[in-house]
A and B are shown apart, each in its own frame.
Chain A
């Protein structure tokens, strides 16, 4: 297990006041909030910040944590000494609250380090089956998860098996993680950011109440070929200079798996998009597929290749920097 330096995570001194800790947390939380920051790793960072704050904002937890002293560094191998927190009493168990935020609330978000010191939070139990009172019927909790699908799935539709990890609480109050596999039909035309609703697949109902629903937020796997904006898709097609100047025919792979033959007109300029109408993500009004030409220069390695470039230059009275008046 690796040690976590919560002061370093928040960028505050070990002697920082509560107000300083709060201000540092707020500033970082705004910066890395996953709804605000779309960079890869932002959500992970946000959770680290939340964990650090959960400890340092709490007087008892902070005092217990401070016992380790300042010689421990982030990432150092660490095992808590036995009875290390003897005599400390915590107002809550781990993160507080079952609110729908990212910071604090999701079982399994805490690091191993945090759990070994402060235990796991005991909220988010995946249903309230044990709390049923006679005659009370409630719909079960709605659950949310994110899943990644391929762009091709949006073009063709697909059946995908997804694995969800759900914390559950047994009769003795112990938390365990259960893997639940669902085979889900991914409908043709799905777009990033949309939600699938799986009726009755959320938390169990209370009494005679129906089960809650499961919402799956869709995003696409990163794709080396295509960029996606809503239902429109973009692909770069590199052209040799002579192809761009004289025109040619190229094969454009579509996300659906087929190939389209596309005529490149003479005098094509890098970046001037060509629209293949209706070849974007399908729907009643399908998106478009945009082909973005780029110019690729072959390297001049051999003498004959160098000569070819020289002849090329001689054939033109061309100064690409004429506008610089240099």
Chain B
């Protein structure tokens, strides 16, 4: 194992500071643009803007798109299956949060 350079880096928080075009999201989530478009039409992602060229995705979309890409690849889920799984995962997260707050 060799060691390379050391650099000091300022980072931006994607969820707070970043908006992405479909090209950037496709690159960051390593997912074809067509698949992202099909997730948008299924309601998995909700960009602002009228056409794919104008779409602006919020920073939260990255995590969602990454999860959708993992589920598509690992479990071979189709688009409606991914949408259902993400909705259920959201619901589980909300229930976990409520459990923590009510315990």
Contacts and interface: CB of A to CB of B under 8 A. Distances in A.
Interface of A: 26, 29-30, 33-36, 46, 50, 97, 99-103, 105, 139, 141-142, 144, 159, 161, 165, 176-187, 189-191, 193-199, 201, 212-213, 215-217, 227, 229-230, 232, 234, 271, 290
Interface of B: 1-16, 18, 27-31, 59, 62-63, 66-67, 69-75, 85, 89, 97, 100-101, 103
A165 B3 CA distance: 10
Contact of B75 (A26, A227, A230): A26
Contact of A100 (B5, B14, B73): B73
Contact of B11 (A180, A184, A230): A184
Nearest to A26: B75
Nearest to B4: A180
A234 B100 contact: yes
Given A35-B70, A179-B1, A212 B13 contact: no
Contacts of A230: 97
Given A139-B27, A142-B27, A212-B27, A33 B75 contact: yes
A181 B63 contact: no
B31 A198 contact: no
14 contacts: A33-B75, A36-B89, A100-B66, A101-B73, A181-B5, A185-B9, A185-B10, A191-B15, A195-B14, A198-B11, A212-B27, A215-B14, A229-B100, A234-B101
B2 A178 contact: yes
A227 B99 CA distance: 12
A201 to B, nearest CB: 7
B74 A101 contact: yes
Nearest to B69: A100
Given A184-B9, A197-B14, A179 B2 contact: yes
A181 B15 contact: no
B100 A197 contact: no
Nearest to B18: A197
A189 B17 CA distance: 13
A99 B69 CA distance: 9
A182 B9 contact: yes
A227 B100 contact: yes
A182 to B, nearest CB: 6
A142 B28 contact: yes
